[in-house]
Amino acid sequence: MAKQPRSLSGKVAAVTGAARGIGRATAQAFVREGMVVAIGDLDADLAQRTAQELGGGTIALRLDVTDRESVRGFLDQVEEQLGPVDVLVNNAGIMQVGRPLWEEDDATAQRMIDINVNGVLFGVKEVVPRMLRRGSGHVVNVASSAGKGGFPGGASYCGTKHFVVGASEALRAELRGSGIEVSCVMPVVVNTELASGLQQTRGVKQVQPEDVADEIVAALKVPRFDVFVPRSVQAISTVMQVVPRRGREAISRALKADQVLAQVDASKRRDYELRASHSDPQLEEGDAPRQLTS
């Protein structure tokens, strides 16, 4: 018998990196479901504009996911203004790609680790004790299909997303029986600024941020851990796990998946790469070698 979907109306959700892209689309989907939403973002002005556009009592708060005190303060403010957090979506992330691993500068790699890895860790470590006290809650970690494979030109990025998948798997096991659900979201390339200038694969087309948001909503209503977007990717992932390595690599080449992060249009990615690098407050204007990967 199919499970009855849970009602999300009135639930309090906090979404990191939600001023734009997948985070914004997710917040918007939550508002449609009647949830009360807080969006956190390093770009406080844009977050505020986004909250006003979404309506539904959405609030915006400045958040630096690389700073655990900032994450703690964000959740404290959410609870003070909206109530206990029922859902945390660890969405904030950056992707700087287009170079082989040995040519990637250390500042670029470190920044992806700070945001993509520590941003998730700090969110989990700060929200789970609050949820455990109530015996309920749902943690949603946004990873990537790149967390299930390694793609040339994006070694560090793939590594950070592998971390999110592995940590989410362990967290799910640690929380079994606690009343707290865990979901790991693994989309293919999403049509946002982050994906500008990337190659298309032959087998799987880019999805829209709204597609990811809809799957997150579905995973909250009927809880599940593996959230592939599109869902067809789960079957592909399952097959790839049982195919010998040479076969997997041949399939990847045939689908041009091995070119998605390696053969990028640097001119189309320039604005995104620059903004991603500027997410580090320690970088100064004009510090080009540390701002751009290409």
Active site positions, annotated: 157
For residue 223, how many C-alpha atoms fall within 13 Å in the half-sphere facing its CB? 13
Within 8 A by CB and 6+ apart from 83, the residues are 12, 36
The DSSP result for 102-120, as a single string, is GGS-HHHHHHHIIIIIIHH
Please list the residues that pair with 74 across neighbouring strands. none
| H helices present in 2-135, as ranges | 21-32, 44-54, 68-81, 106-112, 119-134
Within 8 A by CB and 6+ apart from 268, the residues are 196, 197
Q: Measuring CA to CA, which residue among 219, 91, 181 is closest to residue 144?
A: 91
